[in-house]
Amino acid sequence: MNALETRIRQIIVASGPLTVGQYMAMCLGDPEHGYYMKRPPFGAEGDFTTAPEVSQIFGELIGLWAADYWQRMGAPDPVILAEFGPGRGTLMQDALRAARALPAFRQALQPWLIETSPRLRTIQQRNLDGEKVRWGESLADLPSGPMIAIANEFFDALPVRQFIRQADGWHERLVGLQGERLSFMTSPRPDENIPDLLAEGQLSAGEGEIAEICPDGQRIAAEIAARLQRQDGALLFFDYGPARSAPGDSLQALRRHRFHDPLADPGEADITAHVDFQRLLESARLKGARTAGPLAQGEFLNRLGLQQRTRALAGQNPARAREIMSGAKRLSAPAEMGTLFKAAAVFRRDGPVPAGFTEAECQP
Ligand SMILES: C[S@@+](CC[C@H](N)C(=O)[O-])C[C@H]1O[C@@H](n2cnc3c(N)ncnc32)[C@H](O)[C@@H]1O
């Protein structure tokens, strides 16, 4: 049994079962033993591979997307380019390199990384050596002013609460002890406040079905939207999950690229949940901002020029051409990351529609 499991058991024995959200928060963010606090989880050696680690073109297209939005919002100087949950810093590295194509943008932008893991910050510092990057723990740490924000697989790493529909109403799903083992259980009494927390599309869940909410994700999307509405700018984010709110248990753990029991070896495996795009975007619109998408990642990247850039890069690097082409396919093919992953944006109500989306794909 690892040290985090010992601590989780002690808390359960002293104060009763944890909510799934409390459990997930400890597994990922415990300052000493949390998953993101200990070791770099990315790449072939780690537990999962993200889009910027698959191909440099992902970050390059996002850098060009940001440069285009900056120009169309009136080229404010300075402008913050903030990345939420930057992992190894690869996306920012590729975006900054691509931004050099528009020297005035490169000159005006102030890169910021919003990261809670000191371990990952050290890796980001190393990978972005020579760039004038600053770090914060949350949106509140950023200076005021126009901002272009980006995030890839950030919202799926935030804790979710889970609820189970039973004959007598909704119950919170908990993590407790069954004998010696950590085990999922259900709060003994129904909670009449739960339906108010759920999205319309989740209320039709049948008996025994699970519905999830991500309170931190909704709060962060709302805070970013409120800021963009006041101070101008846009957020572009990519994640995986359904376009519309629906019931379903999407909690999953990955270790060494394989599914893992989320209750086994806490802090040793990555735990994520699907992002409810509809819910996040609604939280943003409630603050007055407009939203675009979600749109399948493959379609979005193709609209930004993925195929053209792939051919150009492969032509310049014949020895790496196969790898470059297979990376682009992995990002965009429907059977790979192209459909499950989606792109969405939040932007100021009277701002320009971000590249890659059409007016018809925006709300309201
Ligand atoms: C799945 S990784 C995504 C990494 C990266 N964006 C990529 O595509 O490779 C999640 C990232 O979010 C960070 N993170 C998790 N919770 C956070 C929070 N509440 N605030 C800021 N960063 C957070 C993690 O430390 C990690 O860098």
Decide: 152 in ligand 1 pocket, CB within 6 A: yes
Decide: 239 in ligand 1 pocket, CB within 6 A: no
Decide: 114 in ligand 1 pocket, CB within 6 A: yes
According to CATH, the superfamily of the domain at 38-157+214-241+276-297+336-363 is Vaccinia Virus protein VP39 (3.40.50.150)
Give the closest residue (by CA) to ligand 1 atom 5. Answer: 87
Atom of ligand 1 nearest to the CA of 48: 1
- For the chain, where do the domains classified as CATH 3.40.50.150 start and end? 38-157+214-241+276-297+336-363
Decide: 52 in ligand 1 pocket, CB within 6 A: yes
% of the chain residues with pLDDT over 70: 99
Q: What separation in Å is there between the alpha carbon of 175 and the centre of ligand 1? A: 24
Decide: 116 in ligand 1 pocket, CB within 6 A: yes
pTM above the 0.85 mark?
yes
Give the span between the Cα atoms of 26 and 35, in whole angstroms: 9
Q: What separation in Å is there between the alpha carbon of 292 and the centre of ligand 1? A: 22
Give the closest residue (by CA) to ligand 1 atom 11. Answer: 85
Q: What separation in Å is there between the alpha carbon of 36 and the centre of ligand 1? A: 8
Decide: 155 in ligand 1 pocket, CB within 6 A: no
Choice from 137, 154, 156, 160 to test ligand 1 binding pocket (greatest atom count within 8 A of CB): 154
Residues 128, 93 contacting (CB under 8 angstroms): yes
Q: What separation in Å is there between the alpha carbon of 86 and the centre of ligand 1? A: 6
Confidence (pLDDT) at 241: 94
Per the document, the length of the chain is 364
Give the span between the Cα atoms of 334 and 347, in whole angstroms: 27
Confidence (pLDDT) at 1: 84
Six token digits for residue 340: 């499950």
* E strands present in 269-340: 270-272, 290-296
For residue 41, say if its preceding peptide bond is cis, omega within 30 degrees of 0: no
Give the closest residue (by CA) to ligand 1 atom 27. Answer: 87
Which is it for strands 341-347 and 109-114: parallel, antiparallel or unpaired?
A: unpaired
List pLDDT tens digits, range 268-296.
Answer: 999 999 999 999 999 999 999 999 999 99
Per-residue pLDDT, averaged over 3-11, amounts to 94
Q: Quick check: helix, strand or coil at residue 153? A: coil
Residue identified by tokens 């060494």 is 256
In sequence order, what are the beta bridge partners of 210? 164
Residue 36 has pLDDT above 90, yes or no: no
Containing 272, the helix (H) or strand (E) segment is strand 270-272
Confidence (pLDDT) at 226: 98
Decide: 50 in ligand 1 pocket, CB within 6 A: yes
Q: How confident is the model at residue 92 (pLDDT cuts 50, 70, 90)?
A: very high
Give the span between the Cα atoms of 1 and 266, in whole angstroms: 9
Q: What separation in Å is there between the alpha carbon of 120 and the centre of ligand 1? A: 9
Per-residue pLDDT, averaged over 213-241, amounts to 98
Residue 205 has pLDDT above 80, yes or no: yes
Q: What separation in Å is there between the alpha carbon of 84 and the centre of ligand 1? A: 7
In sequence order, what are the beta bridge partners of 254? 259, 270
Decide: 115 in ligand 1 pocket, CB within 6 A: yes
List pLDDT tens digits, range 38-71.
Answer: 767 776 677 778 999 999 999 999 999 999 999 9
Q: What separation in Å is there between the alpha carbon of 311 and the centre of ligand 1? A: 31
Residues 39, 177 contacting (CB under 8 angstroms): no
List pLDDT tens digits, range 243-275.
Answer: 999 999 999 998 888 899 999 999 999 999 999
